[in-house]
Structure 1
């Protein structure tokens, strides 16, 4: 799996987890969803994503997301 696909999968999983936590644990978990969205938005413009940096250090290679 390339870094791009891993980032899509990770972001999607985190959003789903935050929605489930908001629905079943506490409405305050909506702030987790907001944080994820804000991070996705800023990384689109700056190219800086902490999760991508960690995944790159773990050995994932950048590649094309859709081939």
Structure 2
């Protein structure tokens, strides 16, 4: 097992989306309900990602060198 494993885009996009939704909820509670627009934007991008397979965040992550899919079968850990 190597210590230098990077998460693929398939796992990072939902994690980043969930982080943004939680952030927008905190901003709604702290400031104004206009921050719900951020939640709507994240939801629209998740729908786009689910239907088409890409969203603006996937394009950015690909340019940063993040692998598109999961690890090769030889590197997976059986549980």
TM-score range, shorter-chain basis? Answer: 0.7 to 0.9
Distance 2:23 2:70 in 1: 26
Structure number with larger C-alpha Rg: 2
- RMSD of aligned residue pairs (Cα, Å): 1.7
Runs of 4+ in 1 over 3 A off after TM superposition: none
1:2 aligns with 2:8: yes
Residues of 1 paired with 2:41 and 2:54: CA distance? 15
Name the stretch that deviates more: 50-59 or 35-44.
35-44
Q: In structure 2, the residue corresponding to 1:19 is in which secondary structure?
A: helix
Structure with greater contact order relative to length (CA < 8 Å, sep ≥ 6): 1
Higher helix share: 1
Q: What's the TM-score, normalizing by structure 1?
A: 0.84
Residue matched to 2:30: 24
Unaligned runs of 5+ in 1: none
How far residue 2 of structure 1 moved from its aligned partner, in angstroms, is 1.2
Structure 2: gaps spanning 5 or more residues:
1-6
